[in-house]
Amino acid sequence: MTARRHSEQELPRWRRAVLKVGSSLLAANGGGLSTRYALGLAEFIAASHRAGREVVLVSSGAVAAGRALVRAQPETAHGLAARQALAALGQTTVVALWQRFFDRPVAQVLLTHDDLRNRRRYLNARATLRELLALGALPVVNENDTVAVDELKLGDNDNLAAIVAALVDADLLLIATDIDGLYSANPRTDPTAVPVDDVAAVTPAIFAMAGGAGSSAGTGGMRTKLEAATKAAAAGIGTLLFNGTDAQALRLLAQDRLRGTRFRAAETRLHARKYWLRHAPLAGGCIRVDAGAARALGSGGASLLPGGIVGVRGEFARGDMVEIETEQQDQVFSIARGISQYAAAEVRRIAGRKSAEIESLLGYSYGETVVHRDDLVALSGVGA
Ligand SMILES: Nc1ncnc2c1ncn2[C@@H]1O[C@H](COP(=O)(O)OP(=O)(O)O)[C@@H](O)[C@H]1O
Ligand SMILES: N[C@@H](CCC(=O)OP(=O)(O)O)C(=O)O
């Protein structure tokens, strides 16, 4: 393969990123996992940590590691249950592989796409990942292959990484693979393929460039990487695709320079999030707040604390999108909407009380805010 190289480009600075490492890198020789390319990637992560940055790692490789452990032949162990068993066998090897490079603790986080579609579990996963980052740990995420039931979804860590990037409010999604970046066609099969450095939007014409996986270890090929870039862009997050086998590309990346493909997000992250908050379906319930809370929420920047709540209408679950209203001169105005950290019955019990009392009132606490300011959007022109 003698394809032309991508040009070098400067990147915006970032603070938190999700880095996805594919099986093509960890099991490059088609056998078990090897440190050959993991070392350079770990050095990049360590350099990011030294620069005060946070990294969530999404690492594949469990199936490849499991296969090597039981010496299963690639042509056997192909069914869903067999792959799931191999993933369970190999997952400890994946975590152990990464732990050996770091002094800081490495945390294993196994997620399914279903977990992330369910709002309660989404919130819990988000809180856990935030907590792990606050503790200085390196979260190592993989799909929870043993319980994933959707065969089509199994083995798609590119898409999972994009969802995790939105989950943890990352500034950037980094996808390390075994090729320099996107080409106009798969350069392993098409010698006329030319490098693509910058993608403003993943259009059908871009999708048409993508072929399947290049190695026996890899699964999704370029298509799932483009899907991931599309998902990340919708959340206002840019994606970088680069070659994890290229030590120089990794050193450049640590200096905010890219040799690979940059996928841009048209929206800013805040804008994309606010748009989603404005348009996500509402649960039936509603939280009524006093004039002081209404002012604080209306002018933006404040979270809703239990003290400002005067009542609850209807029912909703923890993680539901609820309307927030206030009463002024006998008229009720809808002033904001946001994701409630507590169910309606819980909000009724803590309404009007201090955040510090939540634990004694409920016997547990999901945090001091009922609606966190990151999960809240004020509806302009009313109530404030
Ligand atoms: N247009 C394209 N540009 C670059 N690579 C492509 C393209 N189409 C298909 N590919 C293939 O995608 C492979 C990377 O995907 P994959 O093997 O699934 O890796 P990973 O395990 O990192 O997810 C490349 O090695 C390449 O063969
Ligand atoms: N979750 C599985 C497969 C993940 C997957 O998407 O593989 P890849 O396309 O190599 O990133 C594993 O750990 O083997």
Q: Is 159 annotated as a binding residue?
A: no
Residues 360/144, Cβ–Cβ less than 8 Å: no
The tokens describing 247, both together, are 């030590």
Please give the pLDDT value at position 379: 85
Is any atom of ligand 2 closer than 6 Å to the C-beta of 375? no
Asked whether the whole model's pTM tops 0.80, one would answer yes
Q: Is 153 annotated as a binding residue?
A: no
Q: Which ligand is nearest to the CA of 192?
A: 1
Is any atom of ligand 2 closer than 6 Å to the C-beta of 142? yes
Q: Is 128 annotated as a binding residue?
A: no
**350 burial level (CB within 10 Å; 0-12, 13-18, 19+):** buried
Q: Is 145 annotated as a binding residue?
A: yes
CATH superfamily of 8-269: Acetylglutamate kinase-like (3.40.1160.10)
Is any atom of ligand 2 closer than 6 Å to the C-beta of 326? no
What is d(CA 230, CA 116) in angstroms, rounded to the nearest whole number? Answer: 17
Query: 280-378: what CATH class?
Result: mainly beta
* pLDDT block averages, 10 residues each, the chain of length 384: 86 96 89 93 98 97 92 68 91 97 97 78 87 96 84 72 92 96 93 96 93 59 92 94 97 97 88 79 90 89 95 93 93 92 96 96 95 88 40
Q: Considering only CA atoms, which of 10, 46, 14 is closest in space to residue 173?
A: 14
Please give the pLDDT value at position 218: 53
Is any atom of ligand 2 closer than 6 Å to the C-beta of 61? yes
| Ranges for all domains in the chain classified under CATH 3.40.1160.10 | 8-269
Q: Which ligand is nearest to the CA of 160?
A: 2
Please give the pLDDT value at position 178: 93
Please give the pLDDT value at position 122: 82
Please give the pLDDT value at position 274: 81
| Ranges for all domains in the chain classified under CATH 2.30.130.10 | 280-378
- The atom number, within ligand 1, closest to the CA of 23 reads 21
